[in-house]
Chains A and B, each alone.
Chain A
């Protein structure tokens, strides 16, 4: 029996790994001692899982689950309060013509839009996630990143999507990355003692190798991240099946070691319902069915939602509808 899952706590994880994280050298020794990832083999395994044929009842289940896992996202310079309000409305009622259609997990916006989103979403159960820490590049001083985070939390963000310092990571300053995640996690605390959930974005398109993705995953998990997330969506390639698989292996192994569950969020580049279902197969067969829940797996996406809705309508009515039958927000 696997240990019963608990949410990662900074204290718990940090305590367990205090020996590992006490110096740059010990942290490097640990991260470089993780089993390597063979790229050819990893790509082949992800591709093989992508050939699973998900039909009828399984497909209906997967489509609804995928909708419930969407972090409906707008992260543009041209975002306005009006755009965000429309997006939030869509997140609560993705398909206004069908009351059985579930809501999405969250909307994901820049910190200055948090209050607007929160105003629309209220206590609907749809969360507000805010990107912070000088998203997307992460190129700012630590105190500015922390202020960015606190600002979003004060405005009512339920979840913070931070970016790691890829420059520090690639130059081997792992401890700096670790301490920054720990500090952001502390900045997620609210005055009432609760805390916004922290997602840690690696920008795997910049880390490039699967070995780096695995090391970043362990680094973020040991630092107390609640979720590990592939990408900002601003760098190509964004989420891919094999990268997500390597991260799912990491959260699975982390639970084996610590008993704590950490969530995974692929973001960017997932556009079709078929792709989304491939990710769910990956979750099911790599991390296990415990992760098949919006608490533990999310899709960072915008256009994906309408694709899921079109497939869902096809499943229930037997007919495809045109894009004009779905709201554009």
Chain B
């Protein structure tokens, strides 16, 4: 039977490759142990189905984990030659590749992101980070920061890229000879727990990597622990500030990777069809749950109408739905709480007089969903132009000259990333030099590579992850 329209039939990736256990403990000193807090449930945001029950680490559990990490650092890991540490990292990288489909499916189930993103971005880039930092492990004396490790690193990561943020944190820490206690976000603990199994499979010495689960209280206990030498956090600016206050006056080293409100700047000579792809990728990739998302579109007035027409036409082709369907472009919002936040800020945008337009896509009946949305007629005075929505919501502003674009782009408390679209190379260089953002992408957006440092200006945090610069946060000579 054929019809006269090209309807893509469902093409779901099979779930059978993953084995989600009914409950998970904490991974401490190389083994899974019970937690002493109140265990909590993790759900699939696409269906609200309960996936598993996960242990909560209390103060005592945190203490055990830090002790295990300290022992492993003193007795094994910091003494091991770099070339031996590298072998473990290479092994982990290869296992991530070998179990890539399993990790991708699990990530999409627990996080809600489309399988094509977890399959083509999260998992391969996570493996790439381990490969990259494995290469540094025996070359630290050439890093410029010496080769002496800090000790125990307390790492707290967000729910938007659970496995990838884990890799960004753990790979450089281990390469430099540190041991880690890592807390994944409470809504997305499953790939971190699968990573714990991968550490066992790789025969990583016990205590080098410890994974403890829980919410804010667990995180506070971890970063506040007296025997932690380093705190690395990725997440909201609000929590980042609280962490900075908590560690102030101690000799703990800190790196923070926080929020953003990136300007994606389109000049009138830009390659428009590719710019549209970059705008879509910038704000709808991972449902906009991206700290460096291009959430403010700054478009030159002379092409604004054309760009908006093209953008809306393109947005109408976005396929929202089952994260495990290989043709899904936009998945589920990660949690009810985040969905409420996106709705609240969007309603404020409308109340403040901006024009709201959403792609005409049907939202599933269960789970947490928000359609790809743009706001037009937005000015710098609107809250949706200033506050991080962390969802698939784009604010469209216009400018007349490069100077005005720079002024508006920089007029934000954040400074994580920016995008520039123009055919003129000299303008790209001028903009890159004038934008106060850690990353400036030219004629592309949201490109990540382990060799490239990433981090923010101002309220977007401090410290760099990735590349040679990413070693500084984990070596004594990196101060």
Question: Do A and B actually bind?
Answer: yes
* Chain A 237-258 per-residue mask, 1 if CB under 8 angstroms from chain B, else 0: 0000000000001000000000
**Interface segment out of the listed B6-14, B149-157, B336-344, B396-404:** B6-14
CB neighbours of A55 from chain B (8 A)? 9-11
Across the interface, do B277 and A45 meet the contact criterion of CB distance under 8 Å? yes
Q: B28 to nearest A CB, angstroms?
A: 40
Shortest Cβ distance from B445 into A: residue: A41
**Contact B9 A62, beta carbon cutoff 8 Å:** no
Judged by a CB distance under 8 angstroms, whether B326 is at the interface is yes
Chain A nearest Cβ from B279, distance in angstroms: 11
A160 to chain B, nearest CB (A): 29
> Is there an interface contact between A41 and B11, defined as CB atoms closer than 8 Å?
no
Chain A residues closer than 8 Å to B326, beta-carbon distance: 51-53
Q: Does A292 contact B (CB under 8 A)?
A: yes
Q: B271 touches which one: A35, A58, A292 (CB < 8 A)? A: A35
A257 CB to nearest B CB, Å = 11
Contacts of A44 in B (CB 8 A): 277
Q: Residue of A at shortest CB range from B280?
A: A45
Residues of B within 8 A of A60 (CB): 1-2
How far is B8's CA from A284's CA once the two chains are assembled, in angstroms? Answer: 11
- In chain B, residues 218-277, which have Cβ atoms closer than 8 Å to a Cβ of chain A? 269-274, 277
Instruction: Tell me if A35 and B8 are in contact (CB < 8 A).
Output: no
Q: Chain A, 288-300, contact with B by CB distance < 8 Å: what is the 0/1 string?
A: 0100100000000
- B8–A42 contact, CB under 8 A? no
Q: How far is the CA of A45 from the CA of B277 in the complex (A)?
A: 7
* Chain B residue at smallest Cβ distance from A61: B2
Interface mask (A24-64 → B, CB under 8 Å = 1, otherwise 0): 00000000000111101110110000011111111111101
Cross-chain contact A57 with B423 (CB below 8 angstroms):
no
Given contacts A35-B270, A38-B274, A249-B273, contact A57 B9 (CB under 8 A): yes
Query: Which chain B positions have C-beta within 8 A of A56?
Result: 9
Report the minimal beta-carbon distance from A45 to chain B, rounded to whole angstroms: 5
A19 contacts partner chain B, Cβ-Cβ < 8 Å: no
Residues of B within 8 A of A38 (CB): 271, 274, 423, 443
Q: Is B5 an interface residue (CB 8 A)?
A: yes
CA distance A56 to B326 in the complex (A): 14
Contact A61 B270 (CB under 8 A): no
**How many chain-A residues does the 8 Å CB contact rule pick out?**
29
With A35-B270, A55-B11, A249-B273 given, is the CB distance from A61 to B327 under 8 Å?
no
B6 and A289 contacting across the interface, CB-CB below 8 Å: yes
Q: Is A285 interfacial (CB-CB < 8 Å)?
A: yes
Q: How many residues of B contact A (CB 8 A)?
A: 26
Interface status of B278 (Cβ within 8 A of chain A): yes
In the assembled complex, the Cα of A54 lies from the Cα of B6 at a distance in Å of 10
Contacting pair A41 B274 (CB below 8 A)? yes
How does the 8 Å CB contact mask read for B308-349 relative to A, with 1 for contact and 0 for none? 000000000100000000110000000000000000000000
Q: CA A316 – CA B443 in complex, angstroms?
A: 45
Given contacts A41-B443, A58-B6, A60-B1, contact A285 B317 (CB under 8 A): yes
Measured between beta carbons, the chain A residues less than 8 angstroms from B274 are 37-38, 41-42, 45
Interface flags for B77-94 (1: CB within 8 Å of A; 0: not) read 000000000000000000
Say yes or no for A108: interface residue by CB 8 A criterion. no
B270 and A54 contacting across the interface, CB-CB below 8 Å:
no
Q: Are B272 and A59 in contact (CB under 8 A)?
A: no
B116 within 8 A of A: yes
Shortest CB distance A4–B (Å): 17
Complex-state Cα separation, A292 to B10, whole angstroms: 20
Q: Of residues A41, A44, A60, which shows the largest number of chain B Cβ atoms within 10 Å of its Cβ?
A: A41
Closest-by-CB residue of B relative to A249 is B273
| Residue from A35, A45, A58, A285 in contact with B7 in the complex, judged by beta carbons closer than 8 Å | A58
Tell yes or no: B3 within 8 A of A by CB: yes
Quote the shortest CB–CB distance from A53 to chain B (angstroms): 4
Q: Contact check, B278 vs A280: say whether CB atoms are below 8 A apart.
A: no
Contact with A along B441-479 (1 / 0, CB 8 A): 001100000000000000000000000000000000000
Cβ–Cβ contact B6 & A62, under 8 A: yes
From B119, which residue of chain A is reached at the shortest CB distance?
A51
A44 to B11, CA, bound (A): 22
Given A41-B444, A57-B9, A58-B9: A51 and B2 interface contact (C-beta under 8 Å): no
Q: Report the bound CA distance from A38 to B276 in whole Å.
A: 12
- The residue that B444 contacts in the complex, of A35, A40, A57, A289, with Cβ under 8 A, is A40
Look across to chain B and name the residue whose beta carbon is closest to the beta carbon of A44.
B277
A289 to B317, CA, bound (A): 11
Complex Cα spacing A59 to B3, Å: 11
Quote the shortest CB–CB distance from B445 to chain A (angstroms): 10
Q: Return A90 CB to nearest CB of chain B, in Å.
A: 22
Contact B269 A36 (CB under 8 A): yes
Using Cβ atoms and an 8 Å threshold, which residues of chain A touch B9?
A: 54-59
Residue numbers in B under 8 Å from A65 (CB-CB): 2, 6
In the complex, residue of chain A having the shortest beta-carbon distance to the beta carbon of B318: A285
Question: A67 → chain B, closest Cβ, in Å?
Answer: 11
Do residues A58 and B116 form an inter-chain contact, with CB atoms below 8 A?
Answer: no
Docked Cα-Cα span, A51 to B8, in Å, equals 13
Given known contacts A51-B116, A53-B327, is B7 in contact with A37 (CB within 8 Å)? no
A280, B6: Cβ atoms closer than 8 Å: yes
Question: What's the least CB distance linking B166 to chain A, in Å?
Answer: 25
User: Contact: A54 with B2, CB < 8 Å?
Assistant: no
Closest 8 CB pairs of A and B: A41-B274, A53-B11, A38-B271, A53-B326, A38-B274, A35-B272, A58-B9, A61-B2
**21 A-B pairs in the complex with CB atoms less than 8 angstroms apart:** A35-B272, A37-B274, A40-B443, A41-B277, A41-B278, A41-B444, A51-B116, A52-B326, A53-B327, A54-B11, A55-B11, A56-B9, A57-B7, A58-B8, A59-B9, A60-B1, A61-B2, A61-B3, A64-B2, A249-B273, A289-B6
Starting from the known contacts A36-B423, A54-B11, A57-B7, 17 additional A-B residue pairs (CB-CB under 8 Å) come to A41-B273, A41-B277, A41-B443, A45-B273, A45-B274, A51-B120, A53-B11, A53-B327, A54-B8, A55-B11, A56-B9, A58-B7, A58-B8, A65-B2, A249-B273, A284-B6, A289-B6
